[in-house]
Amino acid sequence: MRVLGIETSCDETAAAVVLDGRDILSNVVVSQERLHSIYGGVVPELACRAHVESLLPVLDRALSDAGLGLDGIDAVAVTYTPGLVGALLLGVAAAKAICLARGKPLVGVDHLQAHIYAAYLTPTPPVPPHVSLVVSGGHTNLYLTRDVADHELLGSTLDDAVGEAFDKVASLLGLGYPGGPRVEAAARDGNPKALRFPRTQLGPGSLDFSFSGLKTAVLYHCRGQNASLKTPPRPIPDLPDVAASFQAAVVDVLVARTFEAVEARGARALVCGGGVACNGPLRERLAAEGAARGIAVHLPPKKLCTDNAAMVAGLGYQLALRGRTADLALEVVPTS
Amino acid sequence: MRIAAFETSGTLGSVALAQDGALVSERAFEKGLVHGRELLPSLRDLVAAAGWVIGDVDLFAVSCGPGSYTGVRVGVATAKALAWALGKGILGVPSLDALAENAPADAGERVCPVVDARWQQVYAAVYRRNPARDAGASGEVRRWLRDGELLAVRPEELLPRLPPGTFIFGDGLDRYAALFERPDLRRGPEPPRHARASAVAALAWLDARAGRRDDPFRLVPLYLRPTEAEVKFGSKAKN
């Protein structure tokens, strides 16, 4: 079964064709990163304007890269939650239109579950049950995955998402947007042990996260005693150490909670997905901890961690197999 | 020629089918921003009720703004994807052109629909009566011809553009009622305030017969103004 996937939940317009939930026949992503960078974050109205322009070129390319016409497509899967409402609406409108036009089944896909499914598009897919960590600009969620379409939420962030914390600290340090890769790059020349930023633990047994205290600690460190300053004076003399120490604190917290979840649920495998799963130190630490504990750690390649439609098409296939198709009245759900 | 038309620029959306210039059917959604949910099921139902299949539609006509950014985009994205998936034509019709069609028969020589655009602005355009239509070419030509551009302006900037005797109507007048109380402007019993998909279909038919088509890859909504973020960033950059 060949599934056309469509993804427009945030600032990437993406379409892909995946065969039987495993083989990626095409994977097209048009990123709007440059469009939003001067604003220091995603501007929803700009994102939506770009989506409506990119939709058809991206769809057309996804089919031609796969060497197919719409006749060769058996179902259309689309992200309907969570994300920017105006952006989700556009992918869903296009998906419904294609389904009505060509008599194809429609499948609504949860973007966060799709991030987990990215690991199933690799040569050695995980075997459920496993723990799943989804880390992105909008989410920091831990799940117990019993099946690719059955996830129990174990914990999530009570304030900033981890990607948001990277963006805010990057902005504080004058590194620009997007924060994740910029902080990681700055941290390469720094000492992760130079500064001891807080690792927030929310009560015994809690698998939730909190990053706002960490972000504030970085601010206090950089502006020193001068509380009237909203942004620290530049240049920041120990910027690489600040970046490296902040990143180390984030990674420590993510890795600690994740393996607590693995232990609590007796899981034998772990999946990490989402844009922040591109972070090098996070990948290394998860892999090392997993190896030390005999836990299989599945980290999708970076281009499947950032937003893409292959993961949507792949999960869409699994949902279709389970009879979980949608009808033309499918509504978007901006918050999960 | 069979046309399917969408109007989603305001709070009352609708879908219509027309054949060779004659309205076949029309369905309005419940009021509110429910276009995303209602549009495709309504189209499916109307097509089935007309005894058509979706592939019978030759042209998808869509109200392409100005209006609710999100609403217009849902209509435009839907029409683009339908035209692309079926290899059929697409035509964008300005929402104000369709709204002008709501003006009453006795509206006089000039009409101006005025739509609340928020940010202390209105969307508006001035239309003059087409003499050719009255000369007997009924239904063959547009009833109203647009004079000048589609505008997104402060109401104070619109006023000097309104010739004496212009019939004004629309929800943009509510917030600025006092401003528009000029003795030489005409008001009447308020015509319907929402553009109709049937009008979009009718105008698209006239344009399509004249050979006009849009490229589904290039058609974009008529926003008429930059985003709030761009405006704020621009003024910050100047300071």
**How remote is the C-alpha of A223 from its chain's centroid?**
31
Test B70 with A86 for CB contact under 8 angstroms.
Answer: yes
Residue A109's identity, in one-letter code, is V
pLDDT at position B239 over 60: no
Separation in Å, CA of A307 to nearest CA in chain B: 21
Q: Left, alpha or beta for A18 (phi > 0: left; psi -120 to 50: alpha)?
A: beta
| Angle ∠(B202,B205,B209) on CA atoms, nearest 5 | 150
pLDDT at position A219 over 90: yes
The Cα A115–Cα B84 span in angstroms is 29
Q: What is the pLDDT of residues A271-287, one digit of tens each?
A: 999 999 999 999 999 99
Query: How large is the average pLDDT for residues A176-184?
Result: 95
Test A56 with B217 for CB contact under 8 angstroms.
Answer: yes
Q: Which CATH number applies to A2-117+305-321? A: 3.30.420.40
Separation in Å, CA of A171 to nearest CA in chain B: 16
pLDDT at position A166 over 60: yes
Report pLDDT for A144.
98
pLDDT band at B95 (very low <50, low <70, confident <90, very high): very high
Say what percent of chain A tops pLDDT 90.
93
Q: Does A68 touch chain B (CB under 8 A)?
A: no
Task: Please say whether the beta carbons of A86 and A45 come within 8 A.
Answer: yes
- Local structure of residue B160 (DSSP, 8 states): G
Test B84 with A60 for CB contact under 8 angstroms.
Answer: yes
Separation in Å, CA of B209 to nearest CA in chain A: 24
Tell me the average pLDDT of chain A.
96
Q: Which residue has the tokens 């995603």?
A: A42
Query: Same CATH topology for A2-117+305-321 and A126-299?
Result: yes
Find the DSSP H helices in chain A: 33-37, 44-66, 85-102, 111-117, 162-172, 179-187, 212-223, 239-265, 280-293, 302-305, 310-321
CB neighbour class for B206 (10 Å; exposed up to 12, middle 13-18, buried from 19)? middle
- Residue A20, Cβ neighbours under 10 Å: how many? 13
The Cα B62–Cα B146 span in angstroms is 18
Q: Which CATH number applies to A126-299? A: 3.30.420.40
Report pLDDT for B30.
86
pLDDT at position B232 over 80: yes
pLDDT band at B136 (very low <50, low <70, confident <90, very high): low
Test B77 with A57 for CB contact under 8 angstroms.
Answer: no
Closest chain B residue to the Cα of A92, Cα to Cα: B36
pLDDT at position B238 over 70: no
Q: Domain spans of chain A?
A: 2-117+305-321, 126-299
Q: What is the pLDDT of residues A12-23, one digit of tens each?
A: 999 999 999 999
The beta-carbon neighbor of A39 closest among B76, B82, B229 is B229
- B59 neighbourhood in chain A, CB within 8 Å: none
Q: Does A62 touch chain B (CB under 8 A)?
A: no
Mutation target vs B (from A30, A32, A100, A327; most B CBs, 10 A cutoff): A100
Tell me the average pLDDT of chain B.
94
Report pLDDT for B234.
83
Query: How large is the average pLDDT for residues A252-271?
Result: 98
Query: How large is the average pLDDT for residues A121-133?
Result: 98
Q: What is the pLDDT of residues A36-81, one digit of tens each?
A: 999 989 999 999 999 999 999 999 999 999 999 999 999 999 999 9
- Domains in chain B and their CATH numbers? 2-95+194-229 (3.30.420.40), 105-175 (3.30.420)
Test B81 with A97 for CB contact under 8 angstroms.
Answer: yes
Test B76 with A92 for CB contact under 8 angstroms.
Answer: no
CA atoms within 13 A on the CB side of B107: 25
Using CA atoms, how far residue A170 sits from A233, B53, B212, in Å, is 14, 54, 50
Please name which of A244, A239, A249 lies closest in space to residue A187, comparing C-alpha atoms: A244
Q: Does A30 touch chain B (CB under 8 A)?
A: no
Report pLDDT for A51.
98
Q: Does A55 touch chain B (CB under 8 A)?
A: yes
Test B84 with A56 for CB contact under 8 angstroms.
Answer: yes
pLDDT at position B134 over 90: no
pLDDT at position B135 over 90: no
- B236 neighbourhood in chain A, CB within 8 Å: none
pLDDT band at B133 (very low <50, low <70, confident <90, very high): confident
pLDDT band at A98 (very low <50, low <70, confident <90, very high): very high
The Cα A32–Cα A13 span in angstroms is 8
pLDDT at position A97 over 70: yes
The Cα B40–Cα B31 span in angstroms is 16
Report pLDDT for B137.
65
Test B78 with A97 for CB contact under 8 angstroms.
Answer: yes
Report pLDDT for B138.
65
Per CB distance under 8 Å, which residues of B are interface residues toward A? Answer: 36-41, 43-44, 54-55, 69-70, 73-74, 76-82, 84-86, 216-217, 220-221, 223, 227-230, 233
Report pLDDT for B132.
86
Separation in Å, CA of B220 to nearest CA in chain A: 7
pLDDT at position B227 over 60: yes
Q: What is the complex's ipTM, to 2 decimals?
A: 0.96
Token couple for B210 = 């004249």
Q: Does A6 touch chain B (CB under 8 A)?
A: no
- B41 neighbourhood in chain A, CB within 8 Å: 327-329
Separation in Å, CA of A114 to nearest CA in chain B: 23
